[in-house]
Copies of this chain bind each other. A is one copy, B any other.
Amino acid sequence: MERLYGGIEAGGTKFNCMVGAGPDTILAEKHIPTLTPQETIRQVLAFFEPFVRRKQLVAVGIGSFGPLDLHPESPAFGSITNTPKAGWQYVNLRTQVLDALELPVSFDTDVNTAAFGEQYWNPENHGLESFIYVTVGTGIGVGTLVNGRPFHGLVHSEAGHLPLPHDWERDPFPGICPYHGDCLEGLASGPALAKRWGRPAENLPAGHPAWRLEAEYLAFGLASLIYTCSPERIVLGGGVSQHPGLHALVRRKVQALLNGYIHSPLLLEQIDRYITAPALGNRSAMLGAVAMAMEAAGQGDVLKP
């Protein structure tokens, strides 16, 4: 009997669901719009139901938008906490899936899960002590793995909200973060670009001054991550970062900001290998959730130190 795993990327716009056993063994995939928690979770469970009925599904992984309660000893463990997303405050995603499917369920942030997917399924990334996934899209999120495990600490990375040098004279845009105004996300997320330049990021052509400024803000964010988390690789994903040429601009600007201070060949000579695009395209989180499900079922713990 085939052993299959469920992966859920729970997002504010859609829930991306997958059944499979790895990037080359994807049996089903579905994108469910994020409506009320009740309706959305009903559709998610319906997607998995046939595989559960045939006893093929072994475990499920969830990578969710946050902020999340990730403390196993907390009463709200497995919940989305104070999200601005109406109706979703303190919804316990983990428990609802666990109770309905009666299978092992792993639960983490969408970005930690995407980081896990990128490290787990790419042998080049095995054995790294510090590994970071950054997504630049509707928001800016950062997933952090230490020794191959999702890292939480007090809560989990919120590096999208890093304070940045902001030259108000050159860029008087005040930023759109409701908490911090001109933090990284406030200045460089997709909606920030749209508001700053009066059109969606995908309609800003190559060579538009938007991209040089965007690369600069992202580079400040990545430099801050390099100084604080000392990652051995950074995967830069998300819709906005797919703009052609943006990775190259960011890499050059990161080098300019570090200014040779950190003597690592990865930063000085091989930055193309250091800041990379996601190997799994837009499936990093779904396939990360599948990998976390495999671990929850006691399978395939290739990253355990």
Contacts and interface: CB of A to CB of B under 8 A. Distances in A.
A180 B230 contact: no
A234 B276 CA distance: 32
A226 B161 CA distance: 10
Given A164-B165, A165-B165, A165-B166, A156 B230 contact: yes
Given A129-B152, A165-B165, A157 B261 contact: no
Interface string A259-290: 11111101100000000000000000000000
* Chain A: number of interface residues, binned into ranges: 35 or more
B228 A162 contact: yes
Interface string A236-273: 00000000000000000000011111111011000000
A53 to B, nearest CB: 39
A129 B153 contact: yes
B129 A223 contact: no
A155 B266 CA distance: 11
Contacts of A153: 129-130, 229-232
A230 B155 contact: yes
B232 A228 contact: no
Interface of A is mostly: loop
A52 to B, nearest CB: 34
A81 B152 CA distance: 31
B129 A163 contact: no
A86 interface: no
Interface in A162-219: 162-166, 179-180
Contacts of A162: 224, 227-228
A103 interface: no
A82 interface: yes
Contacts of A129: 151-153
Contacts of A154: 130, 226, 230-232, 262, 264, 266-267
